[in-house]
């Protein structure tokens, strides 16, 4: 068997490398800490000389996201990366992309807010990522990597989902996953799609120039006829239901005999995993459910676990955002509480264990 090759890479670096290797056509972005290594790595690697991938530093995040619109509509695999304040600027473009049903990938390496906030890691953009961010009834498909390996894997997965459902996909990471290095096995290289392949796969909707044999294609989110717009909104609802049915992903750790459960994603899940180890040493039957997709959210998995549990702790680096989805899933059957550090502070595994023990004591 071929010996697997591992690299030691930062989360941000691997995003760039994975994009080139999976045959991405274009990156458009604007520098912001803590994710600037994504564009820096791309510029260093000069993929336009090898795969032909376009890399462009845009004048703003507003421009970057709209460049994605322009590229995605022609059937190209395009992505951008940014951090919280930059994603706020992209909110407009995101809702237009969702409204025009265009596939693309957005990487958000979250930092603390509100406002300029801090450049340290946070998970305080959960609402923005999963409940909207821009206006109108729409959803992004949101992937939450908890390791550098998943940063690598989710680039390809993100594009796959984006094109499968014609929907923008967001990788919701944070400064911790973005800045840390881990062992990573790179994905096999895939060539970029040729124009013929794009035409064959997505010819029914791409905006590439209208041959006389078909009607013109228009990438738009505008519909002045309310009845038609309502129909379109219902179509989106059906799509999101399909995504929920097919694409909900999560990981369960030590849940079989768990009496207590932590629900945490991304960095918080890594930290909480250590908390599970510490708790088990003390004989506390604590398990971890890690949502891998934040939209669709693994509500059903939490529901199914609820009967065996006494209480649940949602651990996130926010003042309490994802905890609302845990509560909706548990639906009042058992107590659900939140523990989090914010503003760029990262909770320690011991701190989380304390919070678990406090919760157990009180319930």
Partner 1 sequence: MIKPENLVYSRTKVLTENIMHYCPGCSHGTVHKLIAEVIDEMGIQDKTIGVSPVGCGVFAYNYLDIDWLEAAHGRAPALATAAKRLNPDRYVFTYQGDGDLASIGTAEIMHACNRGENIVVIFINNAIYGMTGGQMAPTTLIGQVTATTPYGRNVELNGYPLKITELIAQLPGTCYVTRQTVYNPVTVRKTKRAIRKAFENSMMKKGTSFVEVVGTCSSGWKLTPVDANQWMIDNMFPEYPLGDMKDI
Partner 2 sequence: MKEEIIIAGFGGQGVLSMGKILAYSGIMQDQEVTWMPSYGPEMRGGTANVTVILSDDRISSPIVNTFDTAIILNQQSLDKFENAVKPDGVLIYDPNGITHPPTRRDIKIYTIEAAEEAARMKNAKAFNMIVLGGFLKVKPIVKMDNVIAGLKKSLPERHHHLIPMNEQAIIRGMDIIKEVN
CA distance 25 to 51: 8
Q: Would you tell me how many other CB atoms lie within 10 Å of the CB of residue 75? A: 23
Residues near 123 by Cβ (< 8 Å), separated by ≥ 6?
110, 174, 265, 266, 267, 268, 316, 317, 318, 321, 322, 340
| 28 strand-pairing partners | 56
Asked if 262 interacts with partner 1 (CB under 8 A), we say no
Per-residue contact track with partner 2, 8 to 27, x per CB under 8 A?
x-------------------
Of 82-90, 221-229, 274-282, 289-297, which part binds partner 2 (CB under 8 A)?
274-282
| Region binding partner 2 by CB under 8 A among candidate stretches 23-31, 50-58, 179-187, 333-341 | 179-187
Q: Kind and range of the H or E element at 291?
A: strand 286-291
Partner interacting with residue 179 (select from partner 1, partner 2, none; CB below 5-8 Å by kind): partner 2
Calculate the alpha carbon distances from 168 to 26, 131, 162, 299 in Å: 15, 14, 6, 22
Residue 205: exposed, middle, or buried by beta-carbon count in 10 A (0-12, 13-18, 19+)?
Answer: middle
Binding mask 182-201 for partner 2 (x = CB under 8 A): xx------------------
Assess 271 for contact with partner 2 (CB under 8 A).
yes
Of 31, 132, 343, 349, the one binding partner 2 (CB under 8 A) is 349
Binding partner of 349, given partner 2, partner 1, none, CB within 5-8 angstroms per partner class: partner 2
Give one DSSP letter per residue of 13-73, joined into a string: HHHHHHHHHTT--EEEE---TT-THHHHHHHHH-GGGTT--EEEE-SSHHHHHHHHHHHHT
> In the set 119, 186, 207, 236, which binds partner 1 (CB under 8 A)?
207
DSSP reduced 3-state for 9: strand
| CA atoms of 138 and 132, how far apart (whole Å) | 6
Q: What span, in angstroms and rounded, lies between the C-alpha atoms of 263 and 313?
A: 6
Binding window for partner 2 (CB under 8 A); candidates: 128-136, 227-235, 237-245, 264-272: 264-272
> According to CB under 8 A, which one of 208, 249, 270, 274 is a site residue for partner 1?
208
Interacting span for partner 1 (CB under 8 A) from 11-19, 58-66, 176-184, 344-352: 58-66
Q: Rule CB under 8 A: is residue 273 a binding residue for partner 2?
A: yes
Pick one of 67, 105, 106, 184: the residue that binds partner 1 (CB under 8 A).
67
Question: Residue 211's CB: how many other CB atoms inside 10 A?
Answer: 8
Min dist. Cβ of residue 184 to partner 2 (A): 10
Sole binder of partner 1 in the list 15, 20, 45, 73 (CB under 8 A) = 73
Q: Which of 16, 38, 78, 264 binds partner 1 (CB under 8 A)?
A: 78
Q: Nearest CA to 98 among 221, 225, 234?
A: 221
Residue from 56, 89, 91, 119 binding partner 2 (CB under 8 A): 119
Contact predicate 59/133, CB 8 Å: no
Task: Tell me, by CB under 8 A, how many residues bind partner 2.
Answer: 26
Q: Which element (helix H / strand E) includes 197?
A: helix 195-202
Residues forming the site for partner 2 (CB under 8 A): 6-8, 33-34, 119-120, 175-176, 179-183, 270-277, 346, 348-350
Residues forming the site for partner 1 (CB under 8 A): 25-26, 28, 54, 56, 58-60, 62-64, 66-71, 73-74, 76, 78, 92-93, 96, 100, 207-212, 216-222
């Amino acid at each position: 068997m071929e010996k697997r090759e591992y690299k030691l890479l930062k989360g941000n670096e691997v995003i760039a490398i994975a994009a080139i290797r999976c045959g991405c056509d274009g990156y458009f972005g604007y520098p912001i800490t803590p994710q600037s290594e994504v564009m820096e790595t791309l510029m260093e690697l000069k993929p336009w000389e090898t795969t032909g991938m376009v890399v462009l530093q845009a004048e703003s995040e507003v421009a970057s996201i709209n460049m994605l619109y322009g590229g995605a509509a022609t059937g190209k695999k395009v992505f951008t990366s940014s951090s919280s304040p930059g994603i706020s600027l992209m909110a407009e473009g995101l809702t237009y992309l969702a409204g025009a049903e265009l596939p693309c990938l957005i990487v958000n390496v979250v930092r603390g807010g509100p406002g300029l906030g801090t450049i340290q890691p946070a998970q305080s953009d959960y609402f923005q990522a999963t409940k909207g961010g821009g206006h109108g009834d729409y959803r992004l498909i949101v992937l939450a990597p908890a390791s550098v390996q998943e940063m690598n894997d989710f680039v390809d997965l993100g594009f796959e989902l984006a094109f499968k459902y014609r929907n923008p996909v967001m990788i919701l990471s944070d400064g911790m996953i973005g800045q840390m290095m881990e062992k990573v096995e790179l994905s096999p290289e895939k060539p970029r799609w040729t124009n013929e392949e794009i035409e064959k796969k997505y010819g029914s909707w791409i905006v590439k120039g209208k041959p006389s044999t078909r009607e013109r294609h228009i990438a738009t989110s505008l519909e002045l006829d309310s009845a038609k717009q309502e129909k379109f909104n219902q179509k989106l609802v059906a799509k999101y239901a399909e995504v929920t049915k097919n694409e909900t992903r999560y990981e369960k750790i030590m849940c079989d005999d768990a009496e207590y459960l932590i629900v945490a994603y991304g960095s918080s899940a890594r930290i909480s995993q250590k908390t599970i180890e510490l708790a088990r040493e003390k004989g506390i039957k604590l398990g971890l459910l890690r949502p891998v997709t934040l939209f669709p959210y693994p509500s059903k998995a939490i529901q199914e676990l609820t009967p065996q549990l006494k209480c649940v702790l949602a651990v996130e680096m926010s003042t309490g955002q994802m905890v609302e989805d845990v509560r909706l899933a548990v639906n009042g059957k058992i107590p659900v509480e939140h523990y989090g550090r914010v503003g760029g502070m990262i909770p320690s595994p011991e701190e989380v264990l304390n919070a678990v023990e406090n919760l157990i004591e009180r319930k």
